[in-house]
Structure 1
Amino acid sequence: RVTIPARGEVTQVLALVGKGITFDTGGYSMKPPAGMYGMKNDMGGAAAVLGAMRALADLRAHIPEGTEVRAYVAAAENMVGPDAMRPGDIYRAANGLHVEVTNTDAEGRLVLADTLTVACQEGATELVDLATLTGVKISALGNDIAALFSSDPALTDRLKAASLAAGELVWELPLHQPYLKAFQKGTLADLKNSDMQPAGGSIKAALFLQQFVTRSWAHLDIAGNAAREENATGWGVGTLVEYVLAR
């Protein structure tokens, strides 16, 4: 965790959470070679959060008084090994829910879930996470537009305004609660991490994350946005900076 302390008495704590999978092989649900190449970019969300914090540190005098900003990096590698999770394993998440791992290549949501839980437990009043989370987001919106999910309409409006000011495009997708049932049936756990069906996959992944937050929260799926031809774009830094400064 990295923190920019508030000027004056703390009245709000903004948590910026980034998926930081430094390399993603898919684990035992291994990706094909073409899908694995470039997976060093699976930490694009965490990189954007750290980039925003660096910019905000330079702009600290412009952060609204009473606002504390925290960055959380959900860092891991997804590799095959003797201690790696296997399909069918069940574990207890940080908030006490039990999760069955049906697909080890749906690992980002697992580290994000625990990180979001910790951020809430440590007093965050509002959370925004960024993650290169789902390939089907690229199918839906391409590489220029990020998918926005939010539990709070006011937060949604602020993020849309911030993205517009930063010149970064977002499109809101719904948190359609009935889709969560696909992660709840056919398991001894509270949730599966995947139903192995691509249809609605970005929405279902966001719904999974929502089970681990207890505050106002938004999720930006930046799969495809974070890199162009293996070059990092820094997508999300501008939106996060504008969001914090306008908060």
Structure 2
Amino acid sequence: MNTALFDRLSTVQADLVVAFVPSDSELPVSTSWLNERLDGSIEQLRVSNVFAGKLSETLLLPITTQDFAQPILLVGIGKDGALSDAQARKVTGAIAAQIKKLPYKTVAIANSGLTIKNRSTENVLTLISQWINEGFYEFVGFKKEPEVKPEIETILLEGCDESALSFGVATAHGSHYARQLGNLPGNVCTPSYLASQAQQLGDDYNLSVDLLDENRMDELGMQCLLSVGRGSDQPSYLIVMEYKGGEEGDAPHVLLGKGITFDTGGISLKPGSKMDEMKYDMCGAASVFGTMKSICELKPKLNVTAVIAAAENMPSGRATKPGDVVRTMSGQTVEILNTDAEGRLVLCDALTYIERFEPKSVVDVATLTGACVVALGSVNSGMYSNNDTVAADLHEASKVSADKIWQMPLDEEYQQQLDSNFADIANIGGPEAGSVTAACFLSRFTKSYPWAHLDIAGTAWSGGAAKGASGRPVALLTQYLLLKANG
């Protein structure tokens, strides 16, 4: 689907126009202009309470007049003059849901009538273009009779800032990619499949790609990562992709994604209920793939290295057992008290491997702990950092992208929960502060560079009847890297 700009309704050529209607305040300029050409019909509908302008309420006006021949979709924006991020997202979701079902190829959205609190016109344009495009995501899957593809071909948005539009569209493309990878079943999306996706992304965008197989990881001493995939028939991989948009030799910013393509818990087997959702345990990796796609489309002037630690955690006669001790690439030893705390085991070796890049910053992204879901739910991703600048930049990126994070503590006193009688470190720290101690474990492998950890266990997907990957935090990571490029 194509997304482009138009400057004013009086000249736009579209099969459908979308206009915003507040419930009890003055009509926006674009809606007022339409109201005049429809002989006051929009205002009459509002006054008569046929269309009250309630938040995300919609009404299609297929009628035409001599002065205006296009159908109009009215969308309510409620009584507030400016919407919150959540309200604006609800409104754009309602628009996408409606126009997907309509037989129109070109739709013009008069988004000058939509104001979001504390956001500039350019930022609103970016978010609207992102959210509208995200609203058209459909899982390309395995149904015998897939749903009919929407007829829409072009979305026209009101504005003049091409860079703001491009940013929103590229972010949506990255989000689509992350959601597609996340939603694939574990028998399709294996570590080898992720490796093939990296090769494809490299071919599409001229990225440098290196795939470290189990033999190479063994030579490097990455026994902790290898221990996770030992019970699986699927080989593990460390996947490296390099985008080189900056100066040659300039140190990169590194994104690291947890890519557990299916997580049974291993010998510490998970309960059967909702275990199907453990295909989403690679959503950290999926978000890194999606961010790389967005970055490749936007072409910022900086170097970015993406690293994916990919493995499948299965129980078998070869699987790692609780109580086993393994050596990490850093030389530290780990007593594995619970094989279901496997994400930190693949990430710690990857974090040590990343030292060779002498990175400017490292952000790892992982569906790491159920404890983070208990603490923050599905609204905020948990953020931990050993560097105030990285934390501040992620906070700023979070605000601009409307992709929420909440900084969690990383106090030294929590580290003692990881003490082991038999190794340098245990892989779990007991029932208290589970998300914190998981981050504390990772922090022991990040002392040579600025680092942040994003625990997205609560935000990466929705369960139940609405089961599906969210695409978060592609928007946050893309904005973070653009801030670094422009800083």
Is TM more than 0.5 here? yes
- Whole-Å separation in 1 of the counterparts to 2:424 and 2:284: 27
- Whole-Å separation in 1 of the counterparts to 2:426 and 2:294: 37
Identity of aligned residues (%): 41
- Whole-Å separation in 2 of the counterparts to 1:46 and 1:223: 13
- Whole-Å separation in 2 of the counterparts to 1:5 and 1:122: 13
- Counterpart residue type for residue 456 of structure 2: I
Partner of 1:188: 422
Q: Which has the higher contact order (CA 8 A, sep 6+)?
A: 1
> Would you identify which runs of 4 or more consecutive aligned residues in structure 1 move more than 6 Å?
none
Partner of 1:137: 372
- For residue 469 of structure 2, the aligned residue among 229, 232, 241 is 232
Partner of 1:101: 336
Structure 1 spans left out of the alignment, 5+ residues: none
- Whole-Å separation in 1 of the counterparts to 2:245 and 2:331: 31
Aligned residues: 241
Question: How far did 1:36 drift?
Answer: 2.0
CA RMSD of aligned residues (A): 1.1
SS state at 1:37 partner: helix
Q: Larger Rg: 1 or 2?
A: 2
TM-score (norm: length of structure 1) = 0.95
- Residue 276 of structure 2 corresponds to residue 21 of structure 1: no
Question: How far did 1:25 drift?
Answer: 0.3
- Counterpart residue type for residue 22 of structure 1: T
- Counterpart residue type for residue 337 of structure 2: T
Deviations 1:184-236 (A, max 9, x none): 14x210000013x2210101000100111120000000002011132011101
- For residue 443 of structure 2, the aligned residue among 201, 210, 219 is 210
Question: How far did 1:83 drift?
Answer: 1.9
SS state at 2:256 partner: strand
Partner of 1:164: 399
- Whole-Å separation in 1 of the counterparts to 2:415 and 2:322: 20
Partner of 2:384: 149
Higher strand share: 1
SS state at 1:218 partner: strand
Higher helix share: 2
Alpha carbons of structure 1 residues 125 and 8: separation in structure 2 relative to 1, 3 Å:
closer
- For residue 201 of structure 1, the aligned residue among 434, 450, 461 is 434
Deviations 1:101-120 (A, max 9, x none): 00000000000111111112
Partner of 2:356: 121
- Counterpart residue type for residue 479 of structure 2: E
- Whole-Å separation in 2 of the counterparts to 1:194 and 1:53: 31
Structure 2 spans left out of the alignment, 5+ residues: 1-239
- Whole-Å separation in 2 of the counterparts to 1:49 and 1:33: 29
Contact 1:10–1:68 (Cα < 8 Å) also in 2:
no
Deviations 1:40-69 (A, max 9, x none): 000010000000000100111xx23xx210
- Whole-Å separation in 2 of the counterparts to 1:221 and 1:203: 10
SS state at 2:279 partner: helix
- For residue 281 of structure 2, the aligned residue among 42, 48, 70 is 42
SS state at 2:322 partner: coil
- Whole-Å separation in 2 of the counterparts to 1:98 and 1:35: 33
TM-score (norm: length of structure 2) = 0.49
Question: How far did 1:125 drift?
Answer: 2.6
Partner of 2:193: none
